[in-house]
Chain A
């Protein structure tokens, strides 16, 4: 296994993961493109030592393992289609909201706000009780 390939996989993965932690969908898409490349390189690396093109009878040198290459090709086609779909999704989000940021779940926020409101109300009630007690003590 070539050390250069290994470093390429590590670098692509690191940059890819950095990019998908963003809230910006176009950055996330770029991140997935890089992560996909890293995974495909990983598949090719897993195929073993390099060799001649795997065509029957074309060469008497040892040939490269064709199976992981077939797997890698399939994976590339799939990630190509998905990238297009995500770009369309980002475009739609841009039209709807003016930016392609990933937004929070509204229902989650509503539930969280309800809990905060209940806590605030409980606080108020407690304060009022304390005030009453103090009032009683003073009289």
Chain B
């Protein structure tokens, strides 16, 4: 068991250190990175199997007591989300290798090793059992993302990198203050111990801590009104980097929120969460409609979709939490694929601007098909995974009699469909722009298409096994809500 945890957290870190050492030698560097990311992904799938069979697995790092040391916990929630996250990073690294000879490719000497650091951070954030390690994991993710975003040093990247770094650093500082409050109030930062001790606090302190961490995780997850850094910075990064960010970073924030607020039983915040969720959905979708660049439209959709996950959490019912988890599982691959297709579009026609593109459906039918599947899924049309995810969140809302938020969710779904249509009309239909030249587009297109195709296949698989995934989400949600299962597994 120790080995599996190490392969997911230390493995990618070691691989990225090794890849940095031989960064001049392209093939060897790529092999080391791929092996590190691949074994981490494989380990997470094995972990998924073990947790599904035997229940929650824990590791006390260094053998310390949970009161003092770090505990890593793989419960059903973590074991369900982590394999998908690590598989995404692996596929994106394949795409990155195909794309690197183009103007949109990331700098290969740095992007591979940094993806390794990011992977370690994501694994640690999903597996950690205490709040301070969660803070360290966030920093690991953010530091590598700062560098990934700005490492090419172009003006737009440095400009948007500044607001990205400042916003996220502010959230990290608030996180640190929050840790001090939690420690002062309870004398521990271990989440299992906190579930016991938070109950003894007065309501004011308990809800205050919950609200404080809602702001911290909300900034990372880009909920209204803390989202402005996201559509500003994501589109400027190289495609593969944006794809990983879009698929994982905000989702780590919402994951931490689901875990913390559900385990601590902060139902009192539910009303505020639902209001913010509704505004986030609609503002994100309306923002997307106003944009005229493929990547910017997709970036605003991240915000809108975060609203759905927050809605599932804010209901504070078993069905709502299950819906949020299923939405998370559906959203990560779909969003990544859409950004990869955005990268293919940029590669083919040299720009992502809608007014300078067109006619792609007849020239590149494969790309059109690769776009159509995840786009329809994002808009929530059956039979794709988005439909099932939205259905489970919305039916949980109806069950909880939260009518206004249900209507807002349906309305935002309509707006999503409209802006997906906007991309479709702009890029795939109509006539090609006049200045399009007959040159073969740069980059290794076969690798890029294969990676995107693989990812689309992944999202289709999720649609196919949606029933089983829904059951798994329900189990994970029930385990999370019956706090004692988590507490007993960590403290026994």
Contacts and interface: CB of A to CB of B under 8 A. Distances in A.
A87 to B, nearest CB: 11
A32 B162 contact: no
B159 A103 contact: yes
Given A39-B180, A89-B150, A20 B165 contact: no
Interface residues of A, number: 36
Given A45-B184, A81-B143, A82-B143, A105 B160 contact: yes
A14 interface: no
B431 to A, nearest CB: 23
Interface in B110-129: none
Contacts of A82: 139, 143, 169
A106 B157 CA distance: 12
A105 B158 CA distance: 11
B161 A42 contact: no
A43 B136 contact: no
A127 interface: no
Contacts of B296: 107
A13 B155 CA distance: 31
Contacts of B146: 85
B179 interface: yes
Nearest to B156: A106
A105 B232 contact: yes
A102 B228 CA distance: 14
B163 interface: yes
A46 B158 contact: no
Given A39-B180, A42-B177, A108-B232, A85 B143 contact: yes
Residue with the greatest number of chain B CB neighbours at <10 A, chosen from A39, A40, A108: A39
B166 A20 contact: yes
Main secondary structure of the interface of A (DSSP, over half): helix
Interface string B168-211: 01100100110111011000010000000000000000000000
B153 A92 contact: yes
B147 interface: yes
Contact of A67 (B68, B136, B163): B68
Given A96-B155, A97-B155, A89 B161 contact: yes
A89 B180 contact: no
Interface in A28-48: 28, 32, 35-36, 38-40, 42-43, 45-47
Contacts of B159: 93, 102-103, 105
Interface string A57-86: 000000000011001001100100110011
A102 B166 contact: yes
A89 B179 CA distance: 28
Interface of A: 20, 25, 28, 32, 35-36, 38-40, 42-43, 45-47, 67-68, 71, 74-75, 78, 81-82, 85-86, 89, 92-93, 96-97, 102-103, 105-108, 111
Given A20-B170, A42-B177, 16 more contacts: A32-B170, A38-B177, A67-B68, A71-B179, A75-B176, A82-B139, A82-B169, A85-B147, A85-B165, A86-B169, A89-B158, A92-B158, A96-B153, A102-B162, A102-B163, A111-B292
8 contacts: A42-B181, A68-B180, A78-B136, A85-B147, A86-B165, A86-B169, A102-B163, A107-B293
